[in-house]
Structure 1
Amino acid sequence: MSQTQTPLEHTAEAVEKMDEKERSALVMQDRSLPLWASVLSAGFTFGSALCVLSLTVFAVFLHKLVAIEGIESLALLLGATALVPILGMVLFETGHARALAGLRPLRKRSGAMGPALLAVLALGGLATLHPLLALPALAGCILGWLISIPLSRWLPRDPGWDILPAEATSLLIGRDQHGIDLLNAPAKPHAFIMALLKSMRLATFISSFALACWLTLHEVLSAAAIAPTALISYGIVLAITDVFLLRSEIAPEVAKQASSVTAIAAVEGDTGLDGGLKVEHLSVSDRDGHKLLQDLSFQLTAGSVTGITGDSFAGKSLLLKALTAPHDLTNLAVSGHVSIHGQSPWHRSGRERDVDLIYLGAQPRVLPGSGGDNLYCFRSPDSPRGEHLLKSLVHNSDVAQHIIASPDATTLSNVEQKALAFARAFYLRPAAYLVDRPEDGSSELLRGTFLTRLREERRRGAIILLVTEDRVLLEECDQLIVLQNGRLVEMASATEIRDRESSGWQRFVGKRDLDSEEALDSWICAQFRRDGDDANRRAVCMVANEMLALACYATEPGMGPGAVTGTSPPGDTVCFEIKLFAGHCILRLQQAQPLSSGALAKAQSDADSDRALTQAPLARILRDSMSVENTVHNGSNWLQVAISIYDPRKSSPQSTPTSETTADALNRS
C-alpha cells in the first residue's frame, strides 16, 4: 500500500524548505515619492491650468467679434469650441487622479507647481503686451509672499478644535473619535492670513481691471481685453500664492518625523562582526536637549537572544524604535551608528532590498485589508508557509482560516492581530527581531507558541532583542541589557545578572571618566525609592563620586590627584555594586589590584586630622563612611565601603545606628 502525504505534512515541509522564487520575493522597499511622479503631477496640472487660461482667450474673441463687430454667426461656433478646453480640463484632472492614485499629498503639493509655472509665463505675456499690465500681478505676488511666509510664522495656526474641559472629558472616556481626529489634524493658517490673501487677490483683480481700462482709454489695449486681463492677473496671484501657502505649511511627509537623524561613522579599527547588530553611541534627545537615551553602545551576535530590562521610563521601548525607525520619533533628535550585516537599517530607499530587521511593537500593526493580505504583505503567496506559521501559533486550523479570510484585519481581536503580526514576522525571516513586550495582549497559548518559534529562529542564526517582563522569556535570554534613565548601566550574562539580583546586589557599569558622575548619581538614587530617602541619596552619592574620582586617578597608591594606580579594572570602564541592609549599605568598586595598607593608613590619618581633604578622595571616603576595606569576590578585587543609612519609615535622617548594631550588621554582610 502506497503512502500518501497529508496536506498538513506537505505544509510542514514547505515551512522548512522555502524555494528560491519565494525567497527572492521577500524583499521590501520604503515608501517614497519619486521624482517622475512630481514631474508628472506638475504636467497634469499645467495642462489643466492651460485649459482654464484658454477660456480667457475665447472670452476676448467672443467680446470682440460678436459683441463689438456684430458677427452673430460666430457666437455659437466660438461657444461650442470653448467646450474643448473645458472637457480637456476634466480629462487632465481625472487623468491626474488616476495616474497618481494613492499619492494625494503629492498631487496637492506638486500639482500647485503646474499652475504656478503657467502663471509665470502669463506674467511674462502681460509684460510683453505692456509693462504696466504686469504690475498688479507682480505686486500681488510680493504681498502674497509677505503674508504667507513671514506673517504665518508670527501668528498662531488655527486648530481643528479648541479643547473645552467638559467636551474633553467626553472625548477622553472614548465617546468621540472624530474629536481626536480633529485635534490630531494639522492646524490651518490663521484666519487673518486667509482674509488678507483673499482681499489682496481681489485688490489685484480690481487694480488690474482699472489699469486695463486706463490703457484702453489711451488706445493701448482693446476693450475686449479688459476683463480677461483682470482675470489673468487674478489667476497669476492665485496660483503663486497657493505655492507660498503650501511652503508655509509643514509637509505631511515630515509633520510627525524626528527633528533630526544623524548617522555617525563606525569607530575605526572596530573588530566587531559585520554579521551582527552593532550599536555605537546611540543618543536620543527631546527638543529641549534632554537626553532620553544617552550614548548607548553594544553588539549582538547572530543566533543570540538578548533581553532589555530596567525600570519604567528607562527607555526600553524607545531604544527599539530608535534602532528600527528613528525618523518616526516625532520632534526628537537621534544620532549614532546602527548597522546589521554591515548595512544601516536607518537608510530609507525606494529600491528593493532584503528585510534586515523587524520591529514587533506591543500593539500589533495591521493595515486596512484582509488577513491574508496582511500576512503575505499584500503579495500573492508562493507557498502555504505563512498559513502554516499562523496555524502553529494559534494551534487551531479554523482560527487560522478565520484570520486569513477576514476581509478587514483591523476588526480582528487583539489576540488574533497579535498572532497575525507574529506569523508575518516569522514569514519574512529577517536577520533580527526587535520585540517589545510580546506578552501584552497575548494568550498563554500564544506566548508559548511564540517562544517555541523564537527558538527555531535562533537556531537559524537570527538576532533576537526582547523588551519583556515575562519570566519565561527572560530565562530564554543569553544576556541582558539593563537600562536606567536612558543609560546602559550593565550588559552581562543573563545568569550572572539574575544570580546577583536574587542576592540583592545591583550593578552599574560606566565610562572611567568624571563625566560619568551624573549617570552614577542617577543609578544610586534609583536604589532609594522611598519617600524621605533624600538624605540617604545624598550621603551615598557623595561617597560614590569620591570612589569614581579615585578610579580616575592613576599612579602611586595615595590620596590625591594623579596618586592612585589600579583602582579600577583594565579598560575604559568602572564597575560599582550596591546592596542595602538595615541601617547601612555596601557600595563597592572593582579594582585591578587592591589598595595598599599604607595608602589606607595615610588616608585614615588625613581623614582624622582633617588634612588635605580637598585633594584626597580616599580620605574623604574614609571620613564619610563607616568602614573601607579591600575584598575579593568571584576572583575580582573590590574596594568595599559601608555607608550609614536610615529607614525613613522608622527613623529620621539625624538618627544613626549604634556602634554595636553597626558592627553586628557589618559582620552579617
Structure 2
Amino acid sequence: MTAIKARLQEIGAAGIVVTHELEFFGDLSDGTIDLARHLTRPLPATTTARARERSTQEIIPMVSSLNTQKSPPGRAVPLAVDRLSVRTEGGRALVVDVSFRLGAGSCIGLVGPSGAGKTTVLRALLGQHRDSSGQVLVGECRLPLHYSARTTAEKRLFEYVPQSVRLHLNPALSIGYLIARRLRQADRVDNANEAVKVLDSISLPADYLLKRVSELSGGECQRLGIALAIAARPRILLLDEVTASLDPANSAFVVELLRKLRDERSVSMLFVSHQPDMVARLADDVIEMRSGHVLSSGISVDLGSLPAAMSSRPAALEQAHSVARSYP
C-alpha cells in the first residue's frame, strides 16, 4: 500500500480500494465508506471495529435457522499422514516430512506464512502431486499418492473447497444444475427435494436453485462451494482459505456453518487460514508450517497461543482478540 500510494502521488491519480480490511486501510486511506451500512460519507477509522462487531452479531443468529436435524455419525475414519514430502519436477522440496493425525469429526488448523506449504499439503492429499512420497492412511486403508491410482470410493473420501469458489465455477450454470450434477456424481438421488435440502444446509432458500453463479455474492459462492462438497458426503473436508475473501460477518457465518456440519455429520476438516480468530473458533488443534516443514503441532487453539506468524502486525492479533470476544 505504501508503494501504491507513492505511485498515485507520482502520477497525480486518485485511488479506490475495495477491501474487507477496514482497520488496516483506515490507517492508510484518506477516508473509508462502509457500503454495508449504506453510508455516503467517509467512515472514521475509529468506528470501523464497532461496525464490524455489529455486523458480525447480526449474521451469527442466522446459524440458528439452519436445519437442526442431526445426521447419524458414520464410521470413524481418522486420517493419518506420515512423512509426507512433495517435490517439484526439478527436485525442489515443497513439503518435507509432514506428519499428523486427524480424528473423525475433528478439525486441524494449518497455519503459517504464504509459501509455507499449507496448500501443497492439501493438494498432495488429493493426489495432485506426482512427485510425492510418504503415507496417507484413512482408517486402515493406505491411499495411493496419485489420484489416478485411487478407486472411486477412495477419491470420494476427500472434498476440497478453494479460497475463491467463484473462480472454479462456470458463471453461466444454475445452482440447481450444479447441485444435481454433484448428487449424481456421488450416486445420490438428484431430485428437487434433495437439492433443496442441500441449499437448506447452507441457509439459502429454494429459489436459489434457479439462480446462476454469476448472480451470487462472494459469501453465497463460498457457501455454495461448501454445499457442493458436502453433497458428495466426504469423510474429510480440505478447506483452503475459505474465509479469506469474505467480510468479517460472512466469515463468522461460514465458520459457524462448518462447525455445525462437523459436529452433526462427524466430518473431519483441515482448515488452512491466516485468520487467528477463525482458526480459534473452528480448529481443535493447530499445525504451524514454514518453508515446507512443520515447526510445531498440537498448539492450543487459544488466540493468545496461536503462532505470531499468523499476523504480520501485532495490532491485527489484538484486533482478532477483540472480535473473538464479541462472538456469542
**Normalised TM-score (structure 2):** 0.60
Confirm whether residue 362 of structure 1 aligns to residue 197 of structure 2: no
**Match in the other structure for 2:108:** 306
Confirm whether residue 342 of structure 1 aligns to residue 147 of structure 2: no
Paired amino acid for 1:430: P
**Match in the other structure for 2:190:** 381
1:351 CA displacement: 6.1
Aligned pair partner of 2:294 in 488, 498, 505: 488
1:334 CA displacement: 1.6
**CA separation of 1:338 and 1:501: change in aligned 2, threshold 3 A:** closer
CA contact (8 A) 1:366 1:421 kept: no
CA distance in 1, matches of 2:247, 2:295: 32
Deviations 1:481-525 (Å, cap 9, x if unpaired)?
A: 1101000111113247843757xxx9xxxxxxxxxxxxxxxxxxx
**CA separation of 1:411 and 1:318: change in aligned 2, threshold 3 A:** farther
**CA separation of 1:17 and 1:299: change in aligned 2, threshold 3 A:** closer
CA distance in 2, matches of 1:292, 1:489: 15
CA contact (8 A) 1:375 1:421 kept: no
**Match in the other structure for 2:63:** none
CA distance in 1, matches of 2:218, 2:262: 26
**Match in the other structure for 1:425:** 229
1:382 CA displacement: 4.3
**Match in the other structure for 1:437:** 241
1:350 CA displacement: 8.9
CA distance in 1, matches of 2:81, 2:289: 15
Pairwise mapping of residues 285-324 of structure 1 onto structure 2 (< 5 A)?
285-324=87-126
**Match in the other structure for 1:464:** 269
Aligned pair partner of 1:277 in 72, 76, 79: 79
Paired amino acid for 2:305: D
Aligned pair partner of 2:153 in 353, 361, 377: 353
Gaps of 5+ in 2: 1-65, 310-328
Aligned pair partner of 2:219 in 415, 418, 430: 415
1:429 CA displacement: 2.6
CA distance in 2, matches of 1:296, 1:493: 16
1:430 CA displacement: 1.2
Pairwise mapping of residues 524-539 of structure 1 onto structure 2 (< 5 A)?
none
**CA separation of 1:396 and 1:453: change in aligned 2, threshold 3 A:** closer
CA contact (8 A) 2:279 2:301 kept: no
1:372 CA displacement: 1.1
CA contact (8 A) 2:276 2:303 kept: no
CA contact (8 A) 1:314 1:486 kept: yes
1:411 CA displacement: 6.4
Paired amino acid for 1:316: K
1:335 CA displacement: 1.7
**Match in the other structure for 2:323:** none
Paired amino acid for 2:240: D
1:448 CA displacement: 2.9
Paired amino acid for 1:432: I
CA contact (8 A) 1:302 1:463 kept: yes
**CA separation of 1:457 and 1:274: change in aligned 2, threshold 3 A:** closer
Deviations 1:401-425 (Å, cap 9, x if unpaired)?
A: 23x213x536655433322111112
Paired amino acid for 2:148: R
**CA separation of 1:356 and 1:342: change in aligned 2, threshold 3 A:** same
**Match in the other structure for 1:372:** 176
**CA separation of 1:291 and 1:501: change in aligned 2, threshold 3 A:** closer
Paired amino acid for 1:435: L
1:316 CA displacement: 1.0
Any idea what SS the aligned residue of 1:489 has?
strand
Any idea what SS the aligned residue of 1:430 has?
coil
1:389 CA displacement: 4.2
**CA separation of 1:351 and 1:288: change in aligned 2, threshold 3 A:** closer
CA distance in 2, matches of 1:396, 1:383: 14
CA distance in 2, matches of 1:351, 1:317: 23
Paired amino acid for 2:139: H
CA contact (8 A) 1:274 1:342 kept: no
Gaps of 5+ in 1: 1-10, 24-272, 507-669
Paired amino acid for 1:446: N
CA distance in 1, matches of 2:150, 2:124: 21
**CA separation of 1:371 and 1:383: change in aligned 2, threshold 3 A:** closer
CA contact (8 A) 1:418 1:441 kept: no
**Match in the other structure for 1:528:** none
**Match in the other structure for 2:30:** none
CA contact (8 A) 1:317 1:467 kept: yes
CA contact (8 A) 2:106 2:269 kept: yes
In terms of fraction of residues, the more helix-rich structure is: 1
Confirm whether residue 390 of structure 1 aligns to residue 180 of structure 2: no
Any idea what SS the aligned residue of 1:337 has?
strand
CA distance in 2, matches of 1:281, 1:336: 5
Pairwise mapping of residues 47-196 of structure 1 onto structure 2 (< 5 A)?
none
Paired amino acid for 1:366: L
Any idea what SS the aligned residue of 1:336 has?
strand
Larger RCO, structures 1/2 (Cα 8 Å, 6+ apart): 2
Percent identity over the alignment? Answer: 23
**CA separation of 1:387 and 1:443: change in aligned 2, threshold 3 A:** farther
CA distance in 1, matches of 2:108, 2:196: 28
Count of matched residue positions in the alignment of Structure 1 and Structure 2: 230
**Normalised TM-score (structure 1):** 0.31
Provide the alpha-carbon RMSD of the alignment.
Answer: 3.3
Any idea what SS the aligned residue of 1:453 has?
helix
1:12 CA displacement: 4.1
Any idea what SS the aligned residue of 1:287 has?
coil
CA distance in 2, matches of 1:292, 1:448: 31
CA distance in 2, matches of 1:392, 1:294: 38
